[in-house]
Amino acid sequence: MKKNEDRKLAENIFLGERGRITNKELAKKLRVHPATVARWKKLDEWDMKLVQAVTTPQPPLEDSDDFYGRDLHHIRLLNDRIDSYLRKQELLPSEIRELAEAKLHLMSCIEIIHDHSHYPSADELEEEEM
């Protein structure tokens, strides 16, 4: 029973740290072997759960929401995801793929912000019509 509790706790810590903790650090906290943490991570697909947590769609925007702030929030999340991978000494092929996808998403966000900066806002259009 303790192993299952440790396994779930390890997953929660990993997800809470947004993947920014190594297997060795996690194993030390739980007093288990790093290979055990690696096995749990692989079997329970922690990396996939982390990606899903980071990329879970947010509720639809309302008129009063700040689009620019939302874009910046997404960029921060993507940047954190990239940083977490870059801090590792070795990357698995799946992590390299995730890193490439995060970079693609980051570039898309930047492109969207850039495109929106060239067009007038709805308020500016209304002012021009008056």
Per-residue pLDDT at 93 exceeds 60:
yes
Token digits of residue 20: 């920014």
Better pLDDT: 118 or 64 = 118
Give dist(CA 81, CA 20) in Å, integer: 8
Confidence of residue 64 (pLDDT cuts 50, 70, 90): very low
pLDDT at 98: 79
Can you give the residue ranges of every domain in the chain?
1-44, 57-130
Give the pTM: 0.46
Angstrom CA distances, 37 to 41, 93, 124, stand at 6, 18, 55
Angstrom CA distances, 70 to 3, 35, 98, 118, 123, stand at 40, 39, 22, 18, 19
Give dist(CA 30, CA 49) in Å, integer: 21
